Structure 1
């Protein structure tokens, strides 16, 4: 009797080595991609966070928060205390005083030069005391309400002079006075009146004089110069020109009115004022319509 046929068995699966487990290739590959994608996402997130922080720091540097003071000081500059606009009495209401314009017995226009001697000062609400004829009438029409003046002797003693300021309504009034004065003086229809300051100073009120005037704001600054001996002054006399410049430009404009305009500060530049000069005759034989 023949033996029965052998049964057909399925092929045996390979046996893993002792202590190991089967490896799923597809599962391991998926984990690797997850790691790579996760790492890339972290890097992108970190980059975005870095950009946000950099932007925030840049904004803080450019614009400090309102509650945090800036490293740079902030300075606000205001107008000079006490400064005045001299174009009108509306903005320059405080009246002049003799003490403001001529504060001492000596008047030095610059350092190192001999001083003019102040002999007499006067402040008056009547501008007619310092002018005669059409000059006086002109000042009254233009609203002059004050004159402050002084009589002085030149450092060498050879000249007497009266100088001062007329207080007019506004700059336009002062300019009209400036424009009309020369014709009045040339036609001898009036004059600036010198102020005697004692027996030896009568010539300042009576002798022929060299006269100058200048406008700044609503003020008319003026000066008349005579020889102490009463002799006529030539229009080309250099000494009288120097005196007019000293009194009108260097002193009344640059010192007195500059100080008033800037509230005590005298070193700021200003526009050049306008002026004029001429001769005026002596009191004897002049034609006058007043005073």
Structure 2
């Protein structure tokens, strides 16, 4: 009995040692995979977007290939086709706007314009549209707020770009113009009748063209792609826009010939 009791005590002692060792190992070894309520952060997601609020965070210059890549432009799936007649990219923003508007853009840091002249799907309208590259969102907003006043006071105008014979009206005729700010860019569009006649203020087709070019194509298309393909992940300011009329000019040599 004494020998049997001693054996039991030894066995219990050994089992206790094994349990203690097992518990020690569990304490010192981190769990391999524990369930967690924490969301998994995709580190690559931060590199899929670009902050358009400043050229400091959106450093790549615009190109014609990015903004107007082909001879035809379809603003949306299933939409009508605009014919691209001429494209231009440059560092002189005064080719896109004359007078005080051009001076304003320069003062606010505009260093690039990419634009194109197009013919509307029905051929009745000529369009010059493009993007102006300003220093930051604050500069773009200041330009937006001042442009309408300057147009109303006839202190400047957006300038259409002639694209060959039969397109002179885009630089000289009375026009409807629209503009919209997103980040440090101003998207703008100028619409004239191809025959040079005055556009009625209630012309629904002109409103459709302004919407197609500024909101659908340049904002949701070109700038959205740029925002999704950059190097930072910051919220984008909601776009704001304006429209106005500008009178005809008969004695000015059009820019961009």
TM-score by length of 1: 0.73
Match of 1:63 in 2: 31
The secondary structure found in structure 1 opposite 2:196 is coil
* Counterparts in 2 of 1:275 and 1:103: CA distance versus 1, 3 Å: same
| Residues paired across the two proteins, number | 246
User: How many Å separate the matches in 1 of 2:132 and 2:208?
Assistant: 22
- Residue 227 of structure 2 corresponds to 261
Where structure 2 has 5 or more consecutive residues not aligned to the other structure, the ranges are: 253-257
> Alpha carbons of 1:190 and 1:104: their partners in 2 closer, same or farther (altered >3 Å)?
same
1:281 to 247, 253, 257: 247
Q: CA RMSD in A?
A: 3.2
Matching of residue 36 in structure 1 with residue 2 in structure 2: no
Alignment of 1:154-193 (within 5 A): 154-193=120-159
1:205 aligns with 2:171: yes
User: Which secondary structure does the structure 1 equivalent of 2:176 belong to?
Assistant: strand
1:101 shift after superposition: 1.5
Q: Is the contact between residue 80 and residue 263 of structure 1 (CA under 8 Å) also seen in structure 2?
A: no
CA distance in 1, matches of 2:222, 2:182: 11
Task: Give 3-state SS (helix, strand or coil) of 2:43's partner.
Answer: coil
Could you tell me which runs of 5 or more consecutive residues in structure 1 were left unpaired when the two chains were aligned: 1-30, 65-69, 287-291
CA deviation map 1:10-37 (0-9, x unaligned): xxxxxxxxxxxxxxxxxxxxx64x6436
1:137 is the counterpart of 2:106: no
Higher RCO by CA contacts (8 Å cutoff, separation 6 or greater): 2
Write the mapping of 1:1-291 to structure 2, written as runs, cut at 5 A: 32=2, 35-36=4-5, 39-40=8-9, 42-50=11-19, 52-53=21-22, 56-57=25-26, 60=29, 62-64=30-32, 77-78=43-44, 84-263=50-229, 270-283=236-249
Comparing 210-219 with 275-284, which one deviates more in the overlay?
275-284
2:53–2:236 contact (8 Å) kept in structure 1? no
